[in-house]
């Protein structure tokens, strides 16, 4: 979990614009990224002027206040990882175009405009692995990511189901796509973003401490992992598959509107023979290290 200041996040607006200009892309004032920074800037000015006015602003528009922080933080992490890595420029340009589209709030999203947040998940997972010092790259069209360790190459299909009811459809789609990319010494991997499935829309996790926030995310994912096993078995049948469960949210610590970002990820193995399963499990300890508090 990471605490941060508004002023630190606002410094990234220039970096984001420079990144888009590098690829001859226009970041207009009407797209969601520009709106996040604009709203966050208004909040920062109000916060410095008057505490009462600031509190009234928060109560008036809590969703935009909170989520301008959450999405700006995601974008900052993504920018850091992109700048620190070497990626295919054609693929990266396409991802940046998709990233800037979509709705301001998750609750405003419809089935026709999911691409922006789907891409955000791909890039956030890319950033998650990159910040762990792992060899990860963006690919297109399949898989979405490739993660290489000393032992294996993981072909990762990223899926972001919007409800429990859509979960099976997304898993089936990922399995079908992975069959196109499967080859020797590659581990077929499904990464599921579970914010909407487990936390609902535009949700802020209320926590008294950072430890309690991560403990909640860990327990929630572990329970879901076990409950979801029958569905994975039904879909995958005898096909081997690694499934990664990803959960990220904004956690409100109950002291002076301090906010922190919390991300937790866990994985489970299906249908690998024992020796191979053990080797992948050892890799997972590197891929998914324990969270620092």
List the domain boundaries for the chain. Answer: 2-287
| 88-97, 221-230, 248-257: least confidently modelled range | 248-257
Of 90-94, 168-172, 263-267, the one with minimum mean pLDDT is 263-267
What mean pLDDT is predicted for residues 103-125? 89
Preceding peptide of 141 cis, ω within 30°: yes
Q: Where do the DSSP E strands lie in 89-230?
A: 135-138, 145-148, 153-159, 186-193, 204-207
Which pLDDT score is estimated for 204? Answer: 67
Q: Is the dihedral of CA 118, 81, 213, 52 positive or negative?
A: negative
pLDDT tens for residues 37-71?
998 888 888 877 777 887 777 777 777 777 777 78
| DSSP bridge partners of 262 | 249
| Digit-coded pLDDT (tens) for 16-30 | 999 999 999 988 888
**Residue 104 DSSP symbol:** S
The three-state secondary structure class of 23 is coil
Is residue 269 within 8 A of residue 242, CB to CB? The reply is yes
pLDDT, tens digit, 9 for 90 and up, residues 159-195: 999 889 999 999 999 999 998 886 767 899 999 998 8
Give this prediction's pTM. 0.90
Distance CA 39, CA 27 (A): 16
Average pLDDT, the chain: 84
Helix/strand/coil for 153 = strand
Q: What are phi and psi of 233, to 5 degrees?
A: -60, -40
Query: How large is the greatest C-alpha to C-alpha distance in the chain, in angstroms?
Result: 62
Q: How far apart are CA 212 and CA 25, in angstroms?
A: 41
51 in Cβ contact with 117 (< 8 Å): no
């Amino acid at each position: 979990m990471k605490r941060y200041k508004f002023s630190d996040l606002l410094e990234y607006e220039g970096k984001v614009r420079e990144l888009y200009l590098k690829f001859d892309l226009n970041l207009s004032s009407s797209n969601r990224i520009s709106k996040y920074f604009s709203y966050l800037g208004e909040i920062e000015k109000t916060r410095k002027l008057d505490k009462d006015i600031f509190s009234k602003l928060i109560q008036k528009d809590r969703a935009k206040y909170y989520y301008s922080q959450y999405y700006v933080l995601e974008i900052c992490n993504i920018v850091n990882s992109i700048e620190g890595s070497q990626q295919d420029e054609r693929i990266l340009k396409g991802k940046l175009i998709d990233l800037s589209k979509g709705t301001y709030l998750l609750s405003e999203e419809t089935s026709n405009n999911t691409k922006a947040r789907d891409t955000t998940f791909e890039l956030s997972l890319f950033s998650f692995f990159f910040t762990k010092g792992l060899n990860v790259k963006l690919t297109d069209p399949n898989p979405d990511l490739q993660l290489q360790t000393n032992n294996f190459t993981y072909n990762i299909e990223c899926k972001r189901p919007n409800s429990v009811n859509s979960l099976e459809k997304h898993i089936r789609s990922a399995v079908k796509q992975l069959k196109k990319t499967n080859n020797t010494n590659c581990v077929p991997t499904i990464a599921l973003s579970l914010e909407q499935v487990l936390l609902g829309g535009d949700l802020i996790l209320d926590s008294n401490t950072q430890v309690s926030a991560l403990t909640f995310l860990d327990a929630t994912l572990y329970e879901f992992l076990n409950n979801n096993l029958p569905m994975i078995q039904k879909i995958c049948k005898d096909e081997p598959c690694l499934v990664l469960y990803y959960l990220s949210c904004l956690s409100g610590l109950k002291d002076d509107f301090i906010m922190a970002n919390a991300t937790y990820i866990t994985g489970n193995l299906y249908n690998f023979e024992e020796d191979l399963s053990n080797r992948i499990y050892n890799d997972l300890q590197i891929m998914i290290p324990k969270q620092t508090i």
